[in-house]
Amino acid sequence: DIQMTQSPSSLSASVGDRVTITCRASQSVSIYLNWYLHKPGKAPKLLIFAASRLESGVPSRFSGSGSGTDFTLTISSLQPEDFATYYCQQSYGTPRTFGGGTTVDIK
């Protein structure tokens, strides 16, 4: 199985901050890397697919980059509705493994 490792596991930030979350794969997944936002009691929401493609309707403050084994999700200016847990997921191999998650909370 391809292991996905996210860092940090949690971070505290303020509204307006620039936030960066990283995701590392145990082997190359090319650009087959997705990012989701998940809030308690809600369904996950797709933010980024194919490493850098912004899902329709997602604000442009979210961006993704990377290929191979190293990927980054950046929130350029954190908004109140962005406090949540973020997951990366590879769609290169089966099983489609998720990272352990990064929780972004209010500083």
Partner 1 sequence: QVQVVQSGAEVKKPGASVKISCKASGYTFTSYYLNWVRQAPGQGLEWMGRINPGVGSTSYAQKLQGRVTMTSDTSTSTVYMELSSLRSEDTAVYYCARVKGPDWQDASDSWGQGTVVTVSS
Interaction site with partner 1 (CB under 8 A): 1, 31-32, 34, 36, 38, 43-46, 49-50, 53, 55, 87, 89, 91, 94-101
Task: Select 24 or 45, whichever has its Cβ closest to partner 1.
Answer: 45
Minimum Å distance from CB 20 to partner 1?
20
Confirm if 85 and 105 have CB atoms less than 8 A apart: no
Shortest distance in whole angstroms from residue 78 CB to partner 1: 22
* C-beta closer to partner 1: residue 68 or 101: 101
3-state helix, strand, coil in the chain (%, to 5): 5, 50, 50
